[in-house]
Structure 1
Amino acid sequence: MISVLVVDDSKFMAKVLQTVLTDIGFDVVGLGSDGDEGVKLFKELSPDVTLLDVTMPNMDGLECLTEIRAHSPEANVIMLSALKDEEIVRKCLEAGAGAFLEKPIRRHCTEDQQRLISAVEKTMGHTV
């Protein structure tokens, strides 16, 4: 089973992501609420995939991604944002994100579940 860390400052969105990921068959091993906590949890848990929100307090998602990749260059990270900004997408992918997903991710939406699965597959480099 693929282990996933979710880092999002919206507790509601983090719980929705946890539910969707669990429903799909992933093991959500941790929930973080900001970039500082995301780096700490990543180092503790060594998840197969990390989902990072772009806009968070204390340390934003791009900074968190950079810290995670410095610690573990092979880390599989998917960035999430409700912001539709091509510059942010480009910066995240250049910094090492394997994929970028636009929020929201809705619980009972098959299309959103498939987008999430596709992003994990793209990031990990194989079918899940």
Structure 2
Amino acid sequence: MKLSVNHADDAEFSGGLRGFFEYRDLGIKEATNGRVGAHVIRAVPGKHAVGDNHIHKLEFQMVYVLKGWVKFWYEGTGEVTLKAGSCVHQPPEIRHQELAHSDDLELIEITLPADFETLETGE
């Protein structure tokens, strides 16, 4: 492992898993040889959630909301709205779907491993 420092003024956002979000890699994947991933994810203004229920094939996933709000549906729980300061641990392979988010949404996502498979469940 190696030290990883990432500054906001060096921030570069790019596309990723979902077209309605932009992703900023925090350098953790490289520093941990792919064992851990960390991103700042922000909404693309004017683009809204589109996607089916899905699962992620991973060991750990945590989301912490920095700004705005996001509404998810989780199997076994139902709808959950997260706002600035909210944190959610999504258990491995829990079926879920993003329903809506604010245009100013920003969140941090941490995953284990950094790269993982997402499977649409279509239900």
Greater RCO, CA 8 A, separation 6+: 2
- TM-score between the two structures when normalised by the length of structure 2: 0.27
Tell which structure's C-alpha radius of gyration is larger.
2
**More helix by proportion, 1 or 2?**
1
- TM-score between the two structures when normalised by the length of structure 1: 0.26
